[in-house]
Amino acid sequence: MSASLVLTPQQIKRKKAAGEPIEPNEGELIRQHTIMVLVENSIGSLIRVVNMFAARGFNVDSITVGPTADETISRMHVVTTGNERIIAQILRQLSRLVDTIEVSDLTETNYVERELCLIKVRYDARSRAEIMDVNTVFRGKVVDITPRTFTFELTGPTPKIDAFIDMMRNHNILEVARSGRVAMQRHQIPS
């Protein structure tokens, strides 16, 4: 168990009784985790995973799902928030489902995470250049253009998408569609 694991009240009491120090961050360390789940490719399996979060009162910040190279297996990414104890519980509850084939918390590993965003923005003669500048800085793609609107496609880590949308708030955002996060562990070269 990692040192940052959040302690149960009973453990804290036990540590105190033994005169051991309790690290300040042992009380609470709540953060976002990206959990990858490989499940049987069926609507029932997907619902079972989502239902587990709802039935047991866990948070869900984002969910993505799609087939893998093996079409009988779907890959899900669930972004959830909680302390280490809750996350450990989520991982165990997910593994316990009959339909889950593999469950891992990517947050504990070296991984890449991406999100895709489509955003439709209204422009006029005055704002057009500025909007295009922002897009160039973020390396977005223009996927549709009309005399009044741009539609941009942007991929990247979630903070980048957030920042791009924040920049566009100065203009007239008509529509935003975000995919939710997908993630993958970087390949480990055996040492």
Partner 1 sequence: MRYDSHTKIHPVVPSGDAIPEPGPEVFTAQQHLSGAEILLRSLQAEGVKIIFGHPGGAVIKIYDEMARTTPDFQHILVRHEQGGTHAAEGYAKATGKVGTVLVTSGPGATNTVTGIADAYMDSVPIVVFTGQVPTGLIGNDAFQECDAVGITRSITKHSYLVRDVKDLARTVKEAYHIARTGRPGPVLVDLPKDVLLAKAPFHYPTSVDIRGYTVPGTGRPDKIQRAARMIMASERPLLYVGGGAISCDATALLRSIAQRTRIPVTTTLHGLGAFPEEDPLSLRMLGMHGTWWANQAVQHSDLIVAVGARFDDRVTGKLDSWAPHANIVHIEIDQSCISKNVFADCAILGDAHLVLKQLDPLLKRKDTDAWLAQIEEWRQECPLEYEQDEKLRAQGVIEMLRDKTRGNAVVLTDVGQHQMWTAQYFRFLHPRTHITSGGLGTMGFGMPASMGAAFGLREMGSDMPVVCISGDGGFVMNAQEMSVAAAHKLPIKLAVINNRFLGMVRQWQELFHAERYSHTDLSDTNPDFVKLAEAHHCVGLCAKTNQQAIDIIDEAWTVHDRPVLMEFQVAKEEMVFPMVPAGAATGDMITQRIVPNSFV
Q: Rule CB under 8 A: say whether 69 interacts with partner 1.
A: no
Beta-bridge mates of residue 122: 149, 172
Q: Which stretch binds partner 1 (CB under 8 A): 5-13, 151-159, 163-171, 178-186?
A: 5-13
Q: Which stretch binds partner 1 (CB under 8 A): 4-12, 107-115, 128-136, 180-188?
A: 4-12
Measured from the CB atom, the residue of 28 and 124 that comes closer to partner 1 is: 28
Is 75:46 a contact under the CB 8 Å cutoff? no
Size of the residue set binding partner 1 (CB under 8 A): 29
**5 closest CA partner among 102, 94, 82, 104:** 82
Q: Rule CB under 8 A: say whether 96 interacts with partner 1.
A: yes
Helix (H, G, I), strand (E, B) or coil at 48: helix
Interacting residue with partner 1 among 4, 25, 28, 51 (CB under 8 A): 51
- Surface-to-core class of residue 171, CB atoms within 10 Å of its CB (0-12 exposed, 13-18 middle, 19+ buried): middle
Q: Rule CB under 8 A: say whether 44 interacts with partner 1.
A: yes
Q: How far is the CB of 71 from partner 1 (least distance, A)?
A: 15
Measured from the CB atom, the residue of 100 and 135 that comes closer to partner 1 is: 100
**86 closest CA partner among 182, 184, 7, 3:** 7
- For residues 121 and 98, what is the distance between their CA atoms, to the nearest angstrom? 45
Q: Rule CB under 8 A: say whether 48 interacts with partner 1.
A: yes
Q: How far is the CB of 32 from partner 1 (least distance, A)?
A: 22
Q: What are phi and psi of 11, to 5 degrees?
A: -70, -40
Q: Which stretch binds partner 1 (CB under 8 A): 21-29, 81-89, 123-131, 164-172?
A: 81-89
User: Which segments of the chain are extended strands (E)?
Assistant: 31-40, 62-67, 73-82, 100-105, 111-122, 141-145, 149-156, 172-185
Q: Which 99-138 residues touch partner 1, going by CB under 8 A?
A: 99-101
Please state the separation of Cα 73 from the chain's center in Å. 20
Q: Which residues bind partner 1 (CB under 8 A)?
A: 7-14, 17, 39-40, 44, 47-48, 51-52, 55, 85, 88-89, 92-93, 95-101
